[in-house]
Amino acid sequence: MKVVIDTNVLISGVFFGGFPRKLLSAIINQKIIACATTEIINEYEEIIQEMIKRKQGYINKTILTPLIKTMEIIEPVTHIEICRDPDDDKFLECAKDSHAFYIVSGDKDLLVIKKYEDIQIITAKDFCEKFLLK
């Protein structure tokens, strides 16, 4: 099953745990295929660097390496403009072009859409309860 992970889920999983961390572990253990574009990976890395600076540098910069190594990196071809926050359209574009079934997000601007074509937009909690906690 292919999914696209929104940056806020990645940050929550790396720094705080809970359902987002369960999801990231499932990706690293190759139970789920996560897809991303170079633009999404760059955003992940930028936000991780910001968080490391805030936490006084106690977290290794290479924390994303195992996750990114298991991801399917795609080149986007679709252009979508439907999100309230235009910066979130890249997650829909990635999901469509990678044929992902889900976007996992905690972002209200994405969650309010609920579904785009055949792509469902759900929280990490809902995803984990549906697929990982059986």
- Chunked in runs of 10, what are the mean pLDDT values of the chain (134 residues)? 96 89 93 97 91 67 83 96 95 98 97 96 97 76
pLDDT in tens, 75-112: 999 999 999 999 999 999 999 999 999 999 999 999 99
pLDDT reported for residue 22: 94
* Helices 7-15, 38-54: inter-axial angle, 10-degree rounding: 40
Report the predicted TM-score, pTM, of the whole model to 2 decimal places. 0.93
